[in-house]
């Protein structure tokens, strides 16, 4: 397999091209202008939000999308208890959420004086089934095509949060994406809605949102909430190890980033490998490799899961691919697969308990797929 000589991205990765020297377009900073414009906009909105006074049109200054993960827990505590914002904590009850994330949400409800709202919509399952079961995508594909199921799921509940904020006149939506995720996130409300239309068409948008989206497309810009990405705006300060340590000291977080993964994480890897021959987190791993190649003293992650220097990313990806396809096909020896996956996630810094928790999800992948109506080979 041909890989970028700097960051190890596969030559066939969606949206990636290698030059004659074997260096990919991301390492050549071909996306630098777009990223700079996005960072500039995000920083401006974050500063506007932090300096804003009380919302004169409603009971809440912001809606914070709360998942129960470390990042959203950290920011919920920060905006409520340090910035004294009137926060509506919004949780979309994703049916694929881990039990550890749900436990963290229950803990926060006991300890943080915010308003907590939880919404549900079973149509998200129908949407995910459609995405996973789509025919093989056209090659070579576009940037982020390997993350389509995850991006679609996130778009669904982000739009639900947008609709909630819009109806209740809440001017800001806090989205606690880590700095690396700005590559996969849109920062403008109207563009998020338009992107959903592009992915699912007018028929799909009408089916999954019952005609609620069109008013957002035609609303005045001043009427729409603005999305705030605090960790992106504060990107130089983002340190996942410190965040976890501080939260655990306050007894606001009792799990690990590995344990708050979506339960569809194994299927997301299967989708990426099957269609694009890459693991789901390959962009993130390659970003870390790229950062180290530019700064030998680089020692922290800008993503939720750390990729230690000692890890051979190419070897890890090849091993994971082999095991995922074995499990999907109902082949191989389960105890052998379990120990191999535990070792693999241990290399990424997971404790044995955390690794076993994630690994059991991989071993159960065929059952999860069957329950969802998702076809795997």
152 and 276 share one domain: no
- Please tell me the predicted confidence (pLDDT) of residue 308: 72
pLDDT single digits (tens) 191-200:
999 999 999 9
Sheet containing 226-228: order of strands: 115-119, 87-92, 62-65, 172-174, 226-228
Q: Which of 249, 282, 312 is the last residue of a domain?
A: 249
| CA neighbor of 130 nearest in space, from 188, 70, 181, 196 | 196
269 and 233 share one domain: no
Model confidence at 303: pLDDT above 60: no
Residue 220: cis peptide before it, omega within 30 degrees of 0: no
Q: Within a domain: residue 311?
A: yes
164 and 273 share one domain: no
- Please tell me the predicted confidence (pLDDT) of residue 241: 86
pLDDT single digits (tens) 147-171:
999 999 999 999 999 999 999 999 9
- Provide the sign of the torsion angle of the four alpha carbons 325, 331, 336, 342, taken in this order: positive
pLDDT single digits (tens) 271-281:
999 999 999 98
245 and 319 share one domain: no
184 and 287 share one domain: no
159 and 97 share one domain: yes
Q: Which of 223, 249, 275 is the last residue of a domain?
A: 249
Instruction: Note the residue count of the chain.
Output: 377
200 and 80 share one domain: yes
204 and 67 share one domain: yes
In whole angstroms, give the CA distance from residue 354 to residue 42.
33
201 and 240 share one domain: yes
Contact between 37 and 218 (Cβ < 8 Å) = no
| CA neighbor of 179 nearest in space, from 131, 243, 122 | 243
238 and 126 share one domain: yes
Helices (H) and strands (E) in the chain, counts: 15, 5
Looking up residue 145, the CATH number of its domain turns out to be 3.40.50.620
**Burial (Cβ within 10 Å: 0-12, 13-18, ≥19) of residue 32:** exposed
> Residue 187 — pLDDT band, cuts 50, 70, 90?
confident
215 and 301 share one domain: no
In whole angstroms, give the CA distance from residue 33 to residue 35.
5
If you search the block for the tokens 């095509």, which residue do you land on?
145
pLDDT single digits (tens) 344-375:
999 888 888 889 989 999 999 999 999 999 99
- Please tell me the predicted confidence (pLDDT) of residue 287: 81
Q: Which domain holds residue 77?
A: 32-249
Contact between 244 and 260 (Cβ < 8 Å) = no
Three-state SS at 3: strand
H helical segments located in 168-264: 189-209, 214-218, 230-233, 240-249
Model confidence at 302: pLDDT above 60: no
Distance between start and end Cα atoms, the chain: 23
**Total of domains in the chain:** 2
Model confidence at 96: pLDDT above 80: yes
DSSP string, 127-185: HHHHHHTSPPPPSS--TTGGGHHHHHHHHHHHHHHHHHHHHTT--EEE----GGGGGG-
Model confidence at 323: pLDDT above 80: yes
Model confidence at 25: pLDDT above 80: yes
Q: Kindly state the average pLDDT of the residues 87-97.
A: 94
In whole angstroms, give the CA distance from residue 313 to residue 371.
32
């Amino acid at each position: 397999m041909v890989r970028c000589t700097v960051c190890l991205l596969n030559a066939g990765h969606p949206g990636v091209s290698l030059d004659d020297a074997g260096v990919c377009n991301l390492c050549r900073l071909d996306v630098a202008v777009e990223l700079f414009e996005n960072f500039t906009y995000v920083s401006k909105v974050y500063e506007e939000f932090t300096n804003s006074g009380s919302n004169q049109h409603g009971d809440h200054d912001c809606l914070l999308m709360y998942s129960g993960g470390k990042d959203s827990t950290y920011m919920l505590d920060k905006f409520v208890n340090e910035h004294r914002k009137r926060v509506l904590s919004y949780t979309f009850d994703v049916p694929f959420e881990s039990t550890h994330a749900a436990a963290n949400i229950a803990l926060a409800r006991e300890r943080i004086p915010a308003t907590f709202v939880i919404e549900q919509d079973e149509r998200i399952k129908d949407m995910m089934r459609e995405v996973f079961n789509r025919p093989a995508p056209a090659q070579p594909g576009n940037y982020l095509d390997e993350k389509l199921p995850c991006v679609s799921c996130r778009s669904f509940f982000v739009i639900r949060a947008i609709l909630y904020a819009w109806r209740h006149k809440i001017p800001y939506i806090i989205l606690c994406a880590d700095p690396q995720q700005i590559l996969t996130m849109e920062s403008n409300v109207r563009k998020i809605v338009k992107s959903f239309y592009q992915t699912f068409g007018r028929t799909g948008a009408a089916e999954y949102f019952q005609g609620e989206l069109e008013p957002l497309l035609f609303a005045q810009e001043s009427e729409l909430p603005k999305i705030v990405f605090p960790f992106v705006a504060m990107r130089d300060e983002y340190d996942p190890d410190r965040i976890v340590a501080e939260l655990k000291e306050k007894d606001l977080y009792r799990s690990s980033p590995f344990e708050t993964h979506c339960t569809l994480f194994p299927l997301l890897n299967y989708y990426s490998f099957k269609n694009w021959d890459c693991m789901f987190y390959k962009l993130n791993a390659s970003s870390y490799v790229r950062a180290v190649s530019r700064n030998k003293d680089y020692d922290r992650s800008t993503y939720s899961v750390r990729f230690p220097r000692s890890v051979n990313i190419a070897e890890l990806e090849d091993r994971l691919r082999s095991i995922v396809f074995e499990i999907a096909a109902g082949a191989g020896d389960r105890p052998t697969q379990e120990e191999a996956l535990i070792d693999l996630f241990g290399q990424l810094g997971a404790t044995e308990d955390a690794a076993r928790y994630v690994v059991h999800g991989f071993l159960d992948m065929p059952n999860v797929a069957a329950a969802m109506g998702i076809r795997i080979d």
